[in-house]
Amino acid sequence: MLLRSCHLEPALAVTVFVTALAVAAGRGVAGSAAVAAAVLAGQLSIGWCNDAADAQRDAVCGRADKPLATGELPPRAAVVAAGTALGLCVPLSLLSGVAAGAAHLGGMVAAGWTYNLRLKHTVLSPLPYAVGFGSLPAFVTLGLPSPSWPAWWAVTAGALLGVGAHLVNVLPDIENDLATGVRGLPQRLGGPACRWLAPCVLLAALGVLVAGPPGAAETSDWALAAAAGIVAAAGTAVPSRGGSRWPFRAAIVVAAMAVAQLLVQGSEMA
């Protein structure tokens, strides 16, 4: 039941992404393993915290996929699991060094908990995502043998990917959120606006990754950006009536392209 309540798929996705970024940046086997362990612990803590904070709202919405909402898992179990994972995350993050550990704990982890406990219900809801994902390149580069701050374009792209992830994540649940009083920025904008905005924000992240690094961009980089633009345009052009999921799928595809580009540029971000 705890696994069903920890948001395992996004936790693993973020862990794999940051670990791959660490490998690309040159953290080595041990360093990349330390990154993976810290990020996974942090993401699990955020997932359990989220379900514990949303238990009553999920019950009202009839979320049969949420063990806390159905009563299969007691709230205390999720709270203890979140606290335990958070406690483990601290030493695991510090394995990468004090500066890198502080970037992870004060960036992604603190932002995730702040979103769950407060900012999710406010117009500032995208801020924790921007801060959290924007801090991940710093967690990687500050843990290198020669620590350094990441390049501006890596931080900017990370922040944009985070905001895009927020919009994509909220899209399927906007109606339930509004019915239960959750009024973050995407809910205030509404579903139709978010269906257009999500792919555009993710496309902007890809544009930063293509144009930001020093030197002339390769033809393949511009081809990837053009392909992403076509996907975004095609997805957002599909009418949203009838519950069309094409805008959502378009955003996911553009996000995958942006993540791939960031991994390709990983060795240059320090």
Task: Check whether residue 2 and residue 88 sit in a common domain.
Answer: yes
Task: Check whether residue 105 and residue 119 sit in a common domain.
Answer: yes
CA atoms within 13 A on the CB side of 180: 17
Maximum average pLDDT range among 56-70, 84-98, 188-202: 84-98
Task: Using the 3D structure, point to which of 148, 181, 207 is the last residue of a domain.
Answer: 148
Task: Using the 3D structure, point to which of 148, 173, 202 is the last residue of a domain.
Answer: 148
Distance separating alpha carbons of residues 26 and 170, to the nearest angstrom: 34
Q: Which of 17, 13, 226 is nearest to 217 (CA)?
A: 226
Task: Check whether residue 196 and residue 252 sit in a common domain.
Answer: yes
Residues 227-240: what's their mean pLDDT?
71
Q: What is the 3-state secondary structure (H, E, C) of 205-270?
A: HHHHHHHCCCCCCCHHHHHHHHHHHHHHHHHHHCCCCCCCCHHHHHHHHHHHHHHHHHHHCHHHCC
pLDDT band with cut points at 50, 70 and 90 for residue 221: confident
Task: Using the 3D structure, point to which of 96, 119, 148 is the last residue of a domain.
Answer: 148
Put simply, whether the predicted model's pTM sits higher than 0.85 gets the answer: yes
Residues 39-63: what's their mean pLDDT?
90
Query: Which residue has 């970037």 as its token pair?
Result: 103
Domain ranges, residue 219: 151-270
Task: Check whether residue 104 and residue 178 sit in a common domain.
Answer: no
Q: Please tell me the total count of domains within the chain.
A: 2
Residues 28-52: what's their mean pLDDT?
96
Q: What is the average pLDDT value for the chain, to the nearest integer? A: 88
Task: Check whether residue 52 and residue 167 sit in a common domain.
Answer: no
Give every CB contact of residue 245 below 8 A, 6+ residues apart in sequence: none
Give every CB contact of residue 19 below 8 A, 6+ residues apart in sequence: 32, 35, 36, 39
What digits encode the pLDDT tens for the residues 101-129?
999 999 999 999 999 999 999 999 999 99
Task: Check whether residue 200 and residue 92 sit in a common domain.
Answer: no
pLDDT band with cut points at 50, 70 and 90 for residue 245: low
Neighbours of 172 (CB within 10 A): 13
Task: Please report, for the domain that includes residue 261, its CATH number.
Answer: 1.20.120
Asked if residue 162 has pLDDT above 80, the reply is yes
